[in-house]
């Protein structure tokens, strides 16, 4: 933990690109993608990594390459690899889409600039906050309603406990050892994403409820983050005034600039929460 804090401070001081949190997340995702593509650990007769498994299947007449399109036990598949690439390209496009507010310096006539606001205004912060919230729900839910919970009574007497969640102990899968608990009923079942296309198709009602609640929380927590992190219209307006700039055609007043920014920032926050929730949902489910 101390090493991560130190690395984050180094990045914030300019010894790197981007913020520490985003860079650590990107590193973890890149490592997971690389492992899913090129792992040589054997699973279901071929390597776990989909690229290695594909070439092994080409050289093995007893193995059908079509079996790699969708693999069981949450193993990397061709469909998952293509989906990852598509989501990656969509994220790049969204990241490059911006709304630009024209600005002009008050003291230098004719010198103009722009204030860019990304379509993904608060980036992936809403998803991080919602997943942290869900993780706490799941943690305390396992303590209260897990199969080994002291609050569980004899069969037939656990209505309220089962309403919170019903858990099943399943193998980790994907070539990993050990077991873990998954919710199979109760409220926590609808607060956990479908893991894989098979679960998505098996219970679409659960997927719809989860997605709707996930979008709602992403939008709401995105709005909260804007207010507490200095990204609200009033904060941006004050920054523009302090830098000696103004919007051409309007009086140099933070209230006027704030009113103009309010036309864009709340809409960008809602779109950010909606888009990032949709992409996160399909990344988990596909």
Predicted confidence (pLDDT) per residue in 5-58, tens digit:
777 677 767 666 556 667 777 778 888 889 989 998 888 778 889 999 899 888
H and E: helices and strands count for the chain: 11, 7
Residues 6+ apart with CB under 8 A from 229: 122
- Residue 83 falls inside a structural domain: no
- Residue 15 falls inside a structural domain: no
Position 176 scores a pLDDT of 58
- Residue 53 falls inside a structural domain: no
pLDDT tens digit string along 203-212? 999 999 999 9
* Banded model confidence at residue 252, pLDDT cuts 50, 70, 90: confident
- Residue 11 falls inside a structural domain: no
* Banded model confidence at residue 61, pLDDT cuts 50, 70, 90: confident
Domain with 143, as residue range(s), is: 98-285
**34's tokens:** 């690389």
Position 150 scores a pLDDT of 82
Q: What is the mean pLDDT of residues 138-162?
A: 86
- Residue 120 falls inside a structural domain: yes
Position 17 scores a pLDDT of 58
Number of domains the chain contains: 1
- Residue 249 falls inside a structural domain: yes
- Residue 151 falls inside a structural domain: yes
Highest-scoring range by mean pLDDT, 162-166, 226-230, 269-273: 269-273
Query: Rounded to a whole number, what is the distance in angstroms from the first to the last CA of the chain?
Result: 32
**pTM (two decimals):** 0.82
**Helices 78-96 and 50-58: crossing angle, nearest 10°?**
140
């Amino acid at each position: 933990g101390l090493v991560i804090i130190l690395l984050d401070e180094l990045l914030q001081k300019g010894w790197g690109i981007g913020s520490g949190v985003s860079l650590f997340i990107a590193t973890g995702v890149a490592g997971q993608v690389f492992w899913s593509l090129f792992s040589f650990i054997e699973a279901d007769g071929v390597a776990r990594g989909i690229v290695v498994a594909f070439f092994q299947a080409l050289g093995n007449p007893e193995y059908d390459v079509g079996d790699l399109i969708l693999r069981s036990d949450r193993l990397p598949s061709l469909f998952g690899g293509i989906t990852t690439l598509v989501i990656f390209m969509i994220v790049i496009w969204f990241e490059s889409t911006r709304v630009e507010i024209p600005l002009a310096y008050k003291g230098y006539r004719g010198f103009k600039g722009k204030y860019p606001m990304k379509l993904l205004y608060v980036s992936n912060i809403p998803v991080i906050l919602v997943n942290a919230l869900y993780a706490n729900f799941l943690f305390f839910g396992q303590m209260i309603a897990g199969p080994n919970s002291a609050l569980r009574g004899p069969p037939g007497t656990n209505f309220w406990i089962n309403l919170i969640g019903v858990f099943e102990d399943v193998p980790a899968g994907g070539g990993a050892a050990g077991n873990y608990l998954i919710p199979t009923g109760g409220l926590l079942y609808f607060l956990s994403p479908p893991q894989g296309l098979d679960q998505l198709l098996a219970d679409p009602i659960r997927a719809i409820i989860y997605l709707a609640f996930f979008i709602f929380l992403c939008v709401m927590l995105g709005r909260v983050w804007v207010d507490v992190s200095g990204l609200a219209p009033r904060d941006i307006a004050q920054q523009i005034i302090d830098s000696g700039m103004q919007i051409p055609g309007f009086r140099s007043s933070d209230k006027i600039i704030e009113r103009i920014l309010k036309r864009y920032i709340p809409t960008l926050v809602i779109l950010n929460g909606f888009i990032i929730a949709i992409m996160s949902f399909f990344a988990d489910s596909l």
